[in-house]
Amino acid sequence: DGGITQSPKYLFRKEGQNVTLSCEQNLNHDAMYWYRQDPGQGLRLIYYSQIVNDFQKGDIAEGYSVSREKKESFPLTVTSAQKNPTAFYLCASAGQGHTGELFFGEGSRLTVL
């Protein structure tokens, strides 16, 4: 079945360590997005990519990095520079020419101890 897969679902890391969250989609979508969600809050855009080998910063990109080497994959690295990394991270994708509808993964919950 087509869909968007995030892994791992839960992740624990010590403070100061980098961690990479995986996002894979087999929907043949051009655009991919990473959002951060804190408890009781909406979604805030971290990074997005509208085409392979290209990506742009979102509203809260500091302390994060991404790559888009393949159309299917858009991994997010949470670096030690991110001051408050504990959060729920959501990856999404959208097809070419989309007007807004995003398809979301199930999320990855990162807890930094």
Partner 1 sequence: GESVGLHLPTLSVQEGDNSIINCAYSNSASDYFIWYKQESGKGPQFIIDIRSNMDKRQGQRVTVLLNKTVKHLSLQIAATQPGDSAVYFCAENGYNQGGKLIFGQGTELSVKP
- Contact residues: partner 1, CB under 8 A: 6, 31, 33, 35, 40-45, 48, 50, 56, 58, 90, 92, 94, 98-107, 109
Instruction: State whether residue 17 is helix, strand or coil.
Output: coil
Compare residues 85 and 89 and give the one whose CB is closer to partner 1: 89
Residue 23: how many other CB atoms lie within 10 Å: 24
Tokens of residue 42, six digits: 């909406």
**Least distance between partner 1 and beta carbon 29 (Å):** 12
**Least distance between partner 1 and beta carbon 55 (Å):** 11
H/E stretch holding 90 reads strand 87-94
Distance from C-alpha of 67 to C-alpha of 48, rounded to nearest angstrom: 10
Compare residues 1 and 101 and give the one whose CB is closer to partner 1: 101
